[in-house]
Amino acid sequence: MPVSLDHLLVVGISSRALFDLEVEETLFQEQGLEAYRQHQLDHEDQVLKLGAGFALVRALLKLNALTHNQRFVEVVIMSRNSSETSMRIFNSIAHYDLDITRAVLSGGAPLSPYLRAFNVSLFLSLHEDDVQAAVDSGVAGALLYQKPENLLEELDQIRIAFDGDAVIFSDESERIFQTQGIEAFERHERENALKPLPEGPFARLLKALSFIQNNFKATNGKPQPIRTALVTARSSPAHERVIRTLRAWDVTIDETFFMGGVAKSDVLAAFKPHMFFDDQPGHCDRASTVVPTGRVPLKLL
């Protein structure tokens, strides 16, 4: 009987997001495919350094070791490499003892058609066109920034931070702010305070994390292995709709910060997430200097 991934949190990650392949990317861009191919074959047994998404992936995979009879997370390598040039990636996975057994090696073809085939809940990449295609197809995707030089120490607890509008929630209210200004935005949120916000691209991921949290709470009573945070530019009076929306979804976020326009980087440095997801380039640029960061592109109409 075929294995089903339907009830797992499936993370699709590009090889360049999992490992540091910037030298190889530069070689490909400057000298072409054949030079890249030969380089990978010549360095097949040389272990790759850690990439921007490595810490998050390793932390999530640890969830599977916390119970004896249930898997929560599956990670699929999704690469435009061919099978011929992929051995270095698999050797590095084995070196770091990552529980990753599935891969898509598209040989240069787009990756987005295979996201649904593997029931991918979250796609992480350093290639913007692949991320945009994922978001346009309805899959949560983020363009990862290079990890900060002063990367924070590894934590046993998985920590993930989210922006609100256009990430957890839809960009409906954000568009009002962008086109009509803060007063129109606040008026709209007051008038719709009792109406739950529509789901954004990362709502499904947040709900999956909440489900996993509840599962651990129900089974062993130990401290939660996952801690989430909402770090949003909203402030009062726009806070009420957010709180009521999360209640309507039956989702609990562990820490919430209504920043009111204050820079998010200091709060993020204190929270120490394995990844922070935001849609605004300015917020991402600042956050990426202190914590691993992924930018969520808007869905193209």
State the catalytic residues: 163
Backbone angles phi, psi at 22, to 5 degrees: -70, -35
Q: How far apart are the C-alpha atoms of 77 and 101, rounded to whole Å?
A: 8
Give the single-character DSSP code of 75. Answer: E
Q: How far apart are the C-alpha atoms of 271 and 247, rounded to whole Å?
A: 23
Q: How far apart are the C-alpha atoms of 73 and 19, rounded to whole Å?
A: 19
Compute the CA torsion angle 21, 24, 29, 33 (nearest 10 deg): -120
Give the single-character DSSP code of 49. Answer: P
Backbone angles phi, psi at 78, to 5 degrees: -125, 110
Lookup: tokens for 172: 């409906």
Task: Go through the chain and tell me how many residues it has.
Answer: 301
Q: How far apart are the C-alpha atoms of 288 and 33, rounded to whole Å?
A: 30
